[in-house]
Amino acid sequence: MYMPDFAYHAPESLNEACSLLAELGEKATVLAGGTDVLHKMKVGKLAPEHLVSLKHLDDLRTIRHEPGRGIIMGALTSHNAIYTSKLLQERYLSLPMAAHTMASNQICNMGTVGGNIVNGVPSADLPPILIALNASIRLVSTKGERTMPLEDFFHGSAETVIAPGELLADITIPDQPTTGSTYMKFGLRRSGALAVVGVAVAVTMDGDTIRDARIVLASASPTVMRAREAEDCLKGKKVCDELLEQAGSLASAASRPRDSIRGSAEYRRNLVGVLTKRALRKAIDEGHV
């Protein structure tokens, strides 16, 4: 299919990008890696008059650690940059490993963490593990900037709280006492498939007692979701198989998946239970974040 006509802009700075977006309003679409935007334009689902490319905003491509704040990752960080980041491998291995479950090499070279978040789809692989790691995001526009926990960003399937003219600038993963985390995904191919269900967990252990737990589900409801009842049942308890089984059952009961070509709602609910238990066991036993 042919691309519709559009005007192309490539601002040189974040300020310039924000001004352009404010000026062009709803006629403009932000272009990061383009793996979703360009596909939607080709199949006729999107026809913006203006594309505002972020490709020159190299400051949004860095991953750094700031003492007292944590890891700050620019929104333009690609999936492959996450996967190969030594800093992330040392501090939050679960994040590079989640990026490694995604798409083909071509998509992972182009696709960005910002696009993966702003898309707002429940099957996206990076939001669950970022939410499990308590990440927050910074949104900027000509009106200023605001930060919020990533879990508050999602409203419904493909709906987020981003306002017209706002750009996602970066994601912060705070320093934390977490002792183990992981992301487990079930797809219809061995690698590179969209999640039929994904489960991210982060636990803080004190010996064999679970002090804290965060469980986040992908493709299990209209939006990425915390399984709070399951989290609560774990806190302050000693680890045993029955407890992890109970957490899996509670996560499964809380999920609200849909029937789709990739799996029925019932199948997905079962997967949530199985993957939650397995992910908790892995995060607890392997003990790396």
Ligand X SMILES: Cc1cc2nc3c(=O)[nH]c(=O)nc-3n(C[C@H](O)[C@H](O)[C@H](O)COP(=O)(O)OP(=O)(O)OC[C@H]3O[C@@H](n4cnc5c(N)ncnc54)[C@H](O)[C@@H]3O)c2cc1C
- Residue 125 found at the interface with ligand X (CB under 6 A): yes
Among 103, 131, 254, 289, binds ligand X (CB under 6 A): 103
CB 147 to ligand X: min, Å: 14
Residue type, 74: G
Question: CB of 220 within 8 A of CB of 262?
Answer: no
Tallying the residues shown for the chain, one arrives at 289
Tokens of 234: 């774990």
- Residue 222 found at the interface with ligand X (CB under 6 A): no
Strands of 192-245, DSSP E: 197-206, 209-218, 225-226, 237-238
- Residue 34 found at the interface with ligand X (CB under 6 A): yes
Nearest of 251, 194, 249, 181 to residue 220 by alpha carbon: 251
DSSP 21-69: HHHHGGGEEEESS-TTHHHHHHTTS---SEEEE-TT-GGGG-EEEETTT
- Residue 37 found at the interface with ligand X (CB under 6 A): yes
Nearest of 100, 197, 217 to residue 151 by alpha carbon: 217
Among 96, 115, 122, 165, binds ligand X (CB under 6 A): 115
For residues 58 and 285, which CB has a smaller minimum distance to ligand X in the complex?
58
- Residue 114 found at the interface with ligand X (CB under 6 A): yes
Among 81, 95, 129, 194, binds ligand X (CB under 6 A): 194
- Residue 102 found at the interface with ligand X (CB under 6 A): yes
Among 11, 33, 122, 128, binds ligand X (CB under 6 A): 33
State how far the Cα of 182 lies from the Cα of 95, in Å rounded to an integer. 8
Among 24, 30, 173, 216, binds ligand X (CB under 6 A): 30
Which stretch in 112-120, 227-235, 250-258, 266-274 sits in contact with ligand X by CB under 6 A? Answer: 112-120
Phi/psi for 49 (5° steps) reads: -75, -30
Residues near ligand X (CB under 6 A) are 29-37, 39, 54, 75, 102-103, 107, 110-112, 114-116, 118-119, 124-125, 167-168, 194
